[in-house]
Amino acid sequence: MTKPDLASAQPHHFDVLVIGGGAAGLYAALSIPPQWRIGLVTKDNLSISASDWAQGGIAAAIGADDAVSLHVADTLVAGAGLCEPEAVEHLASHAAQCIERLVNLGVAFDRTAGDLAMTLEAAHSRRRVLHAADTTGRAIVSILAEAVLQQANITVFEQAFALDLWLDGGRCRGAAVVYDQRLCWLSAQATVLATGGGGQVYAQTTNPAASTGDGVAMAWRAGAQLRDLEFVQFHPTSLAQAGAPPFLISEAVRGEGAHLVDSRGDRFAFDYHPDGELAPRDVVSRAIFHHLQKTGDRQVWLDLRPIPRDRIQYRFPNILQVCRTWGCDPLTQLVPVSPAAHYWMGGITTDIHSQTSIPGLYAVGENASTGVHGANRLASNSLLECLVYGAELAHLPLVLDSATPAAPDAAMPAAGEPDLRWAKSSSAETWATLREQRARLTQLMWEAAAISRDRTRLEDAIAALSQWRTEMQQHPWHALRALPAGTAYPLPETLSWQLLRTWGELCNLHDIAWLILNSAVFRTESRGGHFRQDYPQTIAEWQVHTVVERDRWQKSPIIQP
């Protein structure tokens, strides 16, 4: 790894700019041939991402009783008719080689008698989920980060915030980035968005604080096509202990034999689906939601006691530790749980090579819509998608000694004398205001666009959000978006990069809330992670994608093989 040198006020040029430091961004950076110069931008550091929080594991059809065709079939069933078959086939057929590379890099997956251990998760027909205890994401990301830091061709910008994409003649040429107390310009032949999901738009989420939909929001403002944004997966079992954050309790717990029970001790999930607690995630989340409405309770419970104690201690040490920290011992007590926003199936439309609709712009991981998840992601396909589609960046069409772009187009408009009112805001007042506005937004989304939706609540939320977005766009800091490209701008001491990041994240959250709400209104049926109380049936004519460019929503057909 080389260290950033921002002494020059001119744009800093790379062959590839990767925005995001989770599994997708790290694996993409490692997949790009080492002769190319890579800039990698991450908001925190290389170990803080949603990938790092992933507990369950990574799916791959490598068992003796398994086959790629079975993995494909399970993924298509979970996707409720909206998966792109070619993309799913590509995912499943490239899983084995990605697992082999991780093992060669040093990822310590659990083993049984020397062989890779595999567990069963909901909606899988075989035990095909590899794991490293219950911290699989952390095991993978830590190894990938270590490998990235050893690469001389990769320059890492930690604690840096990408404000907007840099366009030139309709082509993406890099991004405007807030780093080291200045706004600077990083240009590149190819820009890769790997910023993760947007779970922080909801008041209850298992995602880390950095999951604010940055990549999707930046791509939308630049004019990229987005797809299936109404489909949000709510994990059915996040910790609901008083005072505790909504910590995810992995689906693998139920796969190992834990029961989901109500206040009377009944395994109520079988009242809603014949597979009970091992039904697809959206089914289990809605079962809990409707059961709580019926009973008036605030949570249900996971009973891990059917699992042998030594098995719990071996497979789920992190879950045990966190639950005990918050006063609940899963070995002897029921664990209170409730649903929380977990994964965004929609994102930036990409082809099988991770290319978006904007030349020079690519997307991988949760912020992309590759077509593999459809309306409801199959458990443990998310980490696999990061790897398989990140590996596609090995084939980027790069050329030697490309010219640095001279100026941006309308997505980052040039300006005359910049409006410097943004330098005069009171930090104390701004911090409080931003926190209040974020809490207001996330509660609105939880009430209007979470597990169960209807037109009235969605349209009321759109009306409120429209006013809030107008207020945000009048904020003086928006002048930063109009500063001429190509020159670094120092930030005043009164405006820390952390404060500017907080404001930028809130802008992105407003944008993705707008996209989710309008997409949810547009799709007048229920399917996968999108449930409408006023349109509870799945309708054949809606077996199409929802696509949006700018503020235009339309249907797009599934591409059949």
Catalytic residues: 281
Widest distance between CA atoms in the chain = 69
Letter for the amino acid at 389? Y
CA pair distance 255, 129, nearest whole angstrom: 10
264-299: b (≥16 Cβ within 10 Å) or e: eeeebbeebeeebbbbbbbbbbbbbbbbbeeeebeb
CA pair distance 389, 466, nearest whole angstrom: 35
SS3 331: coil
Cβ distance 369 to 377 under 8 Å?
A: no
Angle among Cα 91, 93, 96 to the nearest 5 degrees reads: 100
CB atoms within 10 A of CB 85: 17
Tokens 């079988």, residue? 270
Q: How far is CA 81 from CA 106, 382, 386, in A?
A: 37, 18, 22
Q: How far is CA 449 from CA 228, 270, 405, 468, 539, in A?
A: 14, 26, 41, 17, 20
Region of residue 276 (left: phi > 0; alpha: psi -120 to 50; beta: else)? left
